[in-house]
Structure 1
Amino acid sequence: MTSIAHHVGIDVSKARLDVHILPAGEEMAFGNDEAGIAALCARLSALGACLAVLEATGALQERAAAALCAAGHLVAVVNPRQVRDFARATGRLAKTDRLDAQAIAAFAQAVRPAPRPLPDEARQRLIDLVARRRQLVEMRAAEKIRRAQMASALRPALEAHIAFLDREIIALDGDISGGLKASPAWRMEDDLMASVPGVGPVLRAVLIAKLPELGSLSRRQIAALVGVAPLNRDSGQMRGRRTIFGGRAEVRTVLYMATISAIRCNRVLKAFHARLRAMGKPPKVAITAAMRKLITILNAMLRSKTSWRTA
């Protein structure tokens, strides 16, 4: 990171990539298509060592980020909220695509976010399968809610759609399971996590796809990465309530549902949760603490490559 001479901010939209390069202050724009991305990679290659920073904007940034990585550039994909907070803190209140690229470049130069390797083809396919399954589950839940208000004449079509979604979800579950079994490393991780009561196949797939750092970080680091680590809110003599914030929301959502199940069937987490409630902790605080305990247990198991033990 110390040898980086240029910091590149790239604002991504559906049709265009707005680029700002520091310290030269050079501005340019490319199409967000194969030809435009190739031209961007060629322009950055002429600069030498540079750090390219893009905001996470759904899937719009993935093609450009992957091409830049393949071309040998350092690439960081960051949370848009971080860049927006940085822009406000430095007095950048106006917002256009060109100004956003400037703000991202300034953020890259000041903060120097660590570049993170993009997922390989197999992991990207697993990420896509997990994301599609979540979309179908959400659609099915919405259809089931509509069922109560649906006119009787329209209900057969709705039931047919729900049955179709059921079949699609089952098929995706098979694809996800097959993908996990195809990789020896993923199969080992899946088997280790499956030994924990309350950790089902959905949570295991999401953790392997969306949390590849699991097993390689400390317990505090993994809790912060997921977003279940309590953050201080202190100032002077005031001691504020600790709250969780940030992290990977999709992982945290699935972890929450798994923890609700685990505190019923996993005697370790059940006793832990009951002890916190007996101490007077609010329900949400106790569940969040159980989530943190569960993810740190899984982190330790994958790091040491040991199965679940209650003794």
Structure 2
Amino acid sequence: MIQPDVIGCDIAKAHLDLFDSGRGRHERIDNTPAAIAVWLATLADRVVHVVFEATGRYDGKLRAALEAADYPYSRVNPARARDFAKALGLLAKTDAIDARLLARMGQSLPLPTHAPDDPVRRSLGRLHARRDQLVAMRQQERTRLHEAEGDERDSLESHLAWLNAEIGRIETICRERLRTDETLRSQEQRLRSIPGVGPVAALTLITLMPELGSRSSKAIAALAGLAPFNVDSGMSRGQRHIRGGRKRIRDALYMAALTASRMPSAFKPYADRMARQGKPFKVVITALARKLLTIANALARDKTIYSKA
């Protein structure tokens, strides 16, 4: 089996810093499709694996080019890369150092290969992010409206009307794209069958948790940051706490859990039982959010809808 040469890539908005472990050299190229295509042409007939940090939209051009050229890559959590640097005792941080570090990380750790993104899911992800931005702006404007007067109030009300209309327009586009894609439409139907999971929570899981149905319940909970971790050392036994993971997924599941906890025919008995045991409200909602995610993962795996046992 031929071992691939690992190429570490530090990504910035304007450029990419690359360290090629096979050739032992560093280079910088522009973060543009044309420059990336020229660089990939130099890798012809080589077995390579590219490692880079998840940097939102800045890594989009690189991912698209790697997928088109059928080169495997790993997209790693920046916090994990930083922890790897600390473990090596590397305190300095430059673009070139980070590229070399990522190459070494790919050589030392069994990083999973990132699956190509579905174009429809990717476009839904961008629309979902835009909706979140508009909702946050709407909340800010509503807060300002309480103390506004005169022309300022008129301006705020006008902006709020536009925000409401724009949020509605984006939601309509999302619904239409889900409706026209058979796979995503089926996934939404399965998610919406779970009590408490509404259209926004379903869209969030579809766009930001593509691993649903392909991982174990423990692994999927860890990805969302809903898995409790031990804090034990020696004779000390600490409380279990959740940490890390995808915050936007947790936010959506918390809202779904809050709704489900109030539905008598769904999960209210489960939530009430924990409350009677003296569990704090946050612990109850977190446990219920994890339960909803576990159910969603099972439904995606078995390709079925929710039914109360």
TM range, normalised to the smaller chain? over 0.9
Partners of 2:301 and 2:56 in 1: CA distance? 31
Please give the per-residue CA displacement for 1:198-237, whole angstroms capped at 9, x wherever unaligned: 1100011111111122123222122112111111111122
Shift of 1:178: 0.6
Q: Name the residue aligned to 2:248.
A: 250
Q: TM-score, normalised by structure 1?
A: 0.95
Shift of 1:23: 4.5
Q: Name the residue aligned to 2:100.
A: 102
> Which ranges of 4 or more aligned residues in structure 1 deviate by more than 3 Å?
none
Q: Name the residue aligned to 1:267.
A: 265
Amino acid at match of 2:138: R
Q: Name the residue aligned to 2:221.
A: 223
For residue 164 of structure 2, the aligned residue among 159, 163, 166 is 166
Q: TM-score, normalised by structure 2?
A: 0.95
Q: Name the residue aligned to 1:6.
A: 5
Partners of 1:77 and 1:45 in 2: CA distance? 22
Shift of 1:90: 0.4
Q: Name the residue aligned to 1:301.
A: 299
Q: Name the residue aligned to 1:50.
A: 48
Tell me how many residue pairs correspond in the alignment. Answer: 309
Shift of 1:240: 1.6
Is 1:141 aligned to 2:139, yes or no?
yes
Amino acid at match of 1:179: R
The answer to whether the 8 A contact 1:197-1:266 is kept is: no
1:51 match: secondary structure: strand
Shift of 1:142: 1.1
Q: Name the residue aligned to 2:85.
A: 87
Shift of 1:14: 1.1
* Identity across the alignment (%): 41
Please, which runs of 5 or more residues in structure 1 have no aligned partner? none
2:210 match: secondary structure: coil
The answer to whether the 8 A contact 1:4-1:51 is kept is: no
Please give the per-residue CA displacement for 1:6-41, whole angstroms capped at 9, x wherever unaligned: 111100111110001114421111111122111221
Residues 266 and 72 of structure 1, relative CA distance in 2, 3 Å threshold:
farther
The answer to whether the 8 A contact 2:21-2:103 is kept is: yes
Q: Name the residue aligned to 1:60.
A: 58
C-alpha RMSD of the superposition? 1.5
Partners of 2:181 and 2:125 in 1: CA distance? 14
1:59 match: secondary structure: helix
Amino acid at match of 1:73: Y
Shift of 1:266: 5.6
Shift of 1:56: 1.2
The answer to whether the 8 A contact 1:269-1:294 is kept is: no
